[in-house]
Amino acid sequence: MSAALDSALSRARLVLDTTTRGPVAKTIFASPAGKKRLAKRLVAMLPEHATYVEPFAGSAAVLFEKEPSNVEAINDADPDIAEAYRLIKRLNPKKLERLRAMKWTGDQATYKRLYGSSPSGELERLYKFLYLATFSYGKLRGSSFNHNAAGKESRTIARLEQNAPRLQSVRVHSGDYLKVVKKYDGASTAFFFDPPYAGYDVDVGEGKFDEERFYEVLKGLRGRFLLTYGIRGKLPSLLKGSGFRIQRVRTPRGIRSMRGVGGSSVLTQLVVTNYALPTRKDDWLEPWDGQLELGDTVPTIVTPPVDEGGEAFAKSMPLIKGADPTDERYVLGVVLEPETVDAQGDVYSADEVRKAAHRFMEEYQGLGLQHELRVNDQVKILE
């Protein structure tokens, strides 16, 4: 077996491993860039600690997977997420029963009504947040309803019953991550950092994230940290010369929830620590020496969101440029005509062309296979 083939097979096994091994960790609500699939493995990598802090909590998948520590704190720059956690902490059996009586089936009319509402009651605000988080396109809680969830029953109440008690001793903060880092940093503190990934149009604050400032924070920590990050932006190159331990993991990504990642359906992430990790026979990490994946070298054009319910359809389209630096041609699309010989001498049936078009829309446009359905009153997918 050639070295190249052996390397390819090893990578394929890693992708399959992170896709199929173990149950998906449970959280109360989902976030578009969460760590549910990696949570159990990330918990196993945490160092010994008395204080645990997630400055970029999101769905807090790692917190829910790990055992409680003496002191635990989570923070999110999104005030709605922080408020939701505070309201969940205050739930009692009576409030939970009131929530249970509310509608938890995916319904566009209900979604639009809640999205446009401004409830004043705590329980009503929590219901709005959880319903939108469950049934929104890409879990973005925007104005776009996920039509694939229409008629489906949410397990939110069951997740609240199972996981809400885990939050009782957790301190909840909202605002700039640096304030929380300074408050809890110490020799016995373990931080899990999962900040917005610069260069990925996921709409979770990546456009405003200051990578150089964050790098300086990492260098000044007294505690130990575990960081997950993408391989775009400035931070990866800064980390290369830092002396931190850097490895990578390649995992399947949610195409629709990470609509601007572009390229392949596998997301390469860096796993960075300022402490040594134990060596394991079934290690799921690979060394990283600065190399990029093909899908991460392709430049993207980002279309700004439209105002009227269109933020979930802002797109990033990959451009393929010739390998020759003097080649100024860009491939913006491929034309397939059924039963017609193409430039490569191939002939495709109408069914093959249809399937290719559907795959393209799902992989690159995030529209899915919603035939004959008007999506958000903007796009109609036709056969």
Angstrom distance (rounded) from CA 57 to CA 86:
13
Listed in order, the ranges of the chain carrying CATH 3.40.50.150 are: 21-297
Cα Rg, the chain, nearest whole Å:
22
Partners of 252 in beta bridges = 266
Question: Hey, CA dihedral for 276, 282, 284, 288, is it positive or negative?
Answer: positive
CATH topology of domain 21-297: Rossmann fold (3.40.50)
Angstrom distance (rounded) from CA 315 to CA 261:
10
Angstrom distance (rounded) from CA 108 to CA 117:
14
Enumerate residues 6+ apart whose C-beta is below 8 A from 24: 36, 37
Nearest to 301 by CA among 234, 233, 201: 201
Range of weakest confidence among 12-21, 91-100, 172-181: 12-21
Q: What is each CA distance from 273 to 150, 151, 193, 223, in whole angstroms?
A: 42, 43, 10, 11
Per-residue pLDDT, averaged over 269-285, amounts to 81
Angstrom distance (rounded) from CA 343 to CA 340:
10
Percent of the chain with pLDDT over 70: 61
Q: Which amino acid is at 277?
A: L
Per-residue pLDDT, averaged over 183-199, amounts to 94
Instruction: For 207-241, write each residue's pLDDT tens digit.
Output: 578 999 999 999 999 999 999 998 888 999 999 88
pLDDT band at residue 32 using 50, 70 and 90 as cut-offs: confident
Enumerate residues 6+ apart whose C-beta is below 8 A from 277: 45, 245, 247, 285
Interhelix angle 122-135/79-89, rounded to 10 degrees, is 120
Instruction: For 282-297, write each residue's pLDDT tens digit.
Output: 567 887 877 665 444 4
Q: Is the pLDDT of residue 166 over 80?
A: yes
Instruction: Determine the pLDDT at residue 311.
Output: 39
Q: Which amino acid is at 167?
A: L
| Chain position carrying tokens 């994230």 | 209
- Pairing type for strands 374-375 and 379-380 reads antiparallel
- Pairing type for strands 245-252 and 286-287 reads antiparallel
Higher pLDDT, 331 or 181: 181
Q: How many CB atoms lie within 10 A of CB 251?
A: 17
In 3-state terms, what secondary structure has residue 149? helix
Element (H, E) at 82: helix 79-89
Question: Considering the entire predicted model, what is its pTM?
Answer: 0.69
Nearest to 267 by CA among 285, 248, 283: 248
Cα 42 to the center of its chain, rounded Å? 15
Interhelix angle 122-135/108-115, rounded to 10 degrees, is 130
Instruction: Determine the pLDDT at residue 127.
Output: 97
- Average pLDDT across the chain, whole number: 77
Sheet holding 245-252, edge to edge: 170-174, 71-76, 51-54, 189-193, 224-229, 266-273, 245-252, 286-287
Range of weakest confidence among 143-147, 260-264, 287-291: 260-264
Phi-psi region of 121 (alpha: psi -120 to 50; beta: other; left: phi over 0): beta
Higher pLDDT, 352 or 143: 143
Instruction: Determine the pLDDT at residue 381.
Output: 45
Joined together, the tokens standing for residue 223 give: 């505690």
Q: Is the pLDDT of residue 83 over 80?
A: yes
